[in-house]
Amino acid sequence: MSWTAPLVITGASSGIGRALALELAAGGATLHLQGRDAERLARVASEVAAAGGSATRHVADLTDDDAVDALIAALSAGEAGVAALVHSAGMVRLGSLEASDVTVLDDHYRLNLRAPYRLTRGLLPQLRRARGQVVFVNSGAGLRANAHWGAYAASKFGLRALADSLRQEVAGDGVRVTTVYPGRTATPMQRSVHEQEGRSYDPTAYVRPEDVARQVATLLSLQPPSTVTELTIVPG
């Protein structure tokens, strides 16, 4: 599969975002990669180039309004525009409601929900012109909340609502919106989750990020009017 119009991937320096960048690069994609860590993002951009794609790096903290505004401006400056936006950035911090300060909820909200809201809103004119796609990488926690996952799940339930609402709002413009619900996936975030849970971590027990990336790449390749509204991927 090949992609000619630019695609934006947030959280591209590791995990599912990195895996998707490399999957798309094999098809010669033109990518805009966002991440907070300049060094890791540079490594991914080099991997993308080696795989046959091209990448523009955007080092930005999505919880910083000025940084998001600058990112939107940079992505809006090119003549090619943006044809697809994949929200892969996210964070998780476990804890019971009783033991967690409200700032924990605020942190999840800012990165997992507010940032996708602001970035999508800022790029929507380009996505409409391109009759493009928006992909929200959610979580199994966006469908089901368990103990100690309240703040994270609340942000992901909200992200699901945002995607469902947006899908109806832009369907008439030819913009397609997909939510992907990966189950536990073998990423650095999953390693952190296990540390928080006090459990040993075996990455072979979980979904491979490359498998999630391959599925997302496939849905991005669908031609209008075909669309996948929701996709769930879980360990077998």
- Distance, CA of 202 to CA of 122 (rounded, Å): 39
- The full length of the chain comes to 236
152 annotated active-site: yes
**SS3 label, residue 137:** strand
Residue carrying the six token digits 């075996």: 202
**What DSSP line would sit under 175-220, residue for residue?**
-EEEEEEE-SBSSHHHHHHHHHHT----GGGSB-HHHHHHHHHHHH
From 109, 152, 201, 206, the catalytic residue = 152
For residue 199, the tally of other CB atoms under 10 A from its CB is: 9
Cα distance between residue 118 and residue 160, in whole Å: 15
Taking each continuous run of H as one helix and of E as one strand, the counts in the chain are: 8, 7
- Beta-ladder partners of 233: 182
Is residue 118 within a helix (H) or strand (E), and if so which, with residue range?
A: helix 115-130
**Of all helices (H) and strands (E), which one includes residue 96?**
none
Residues belonging to the active site = 152
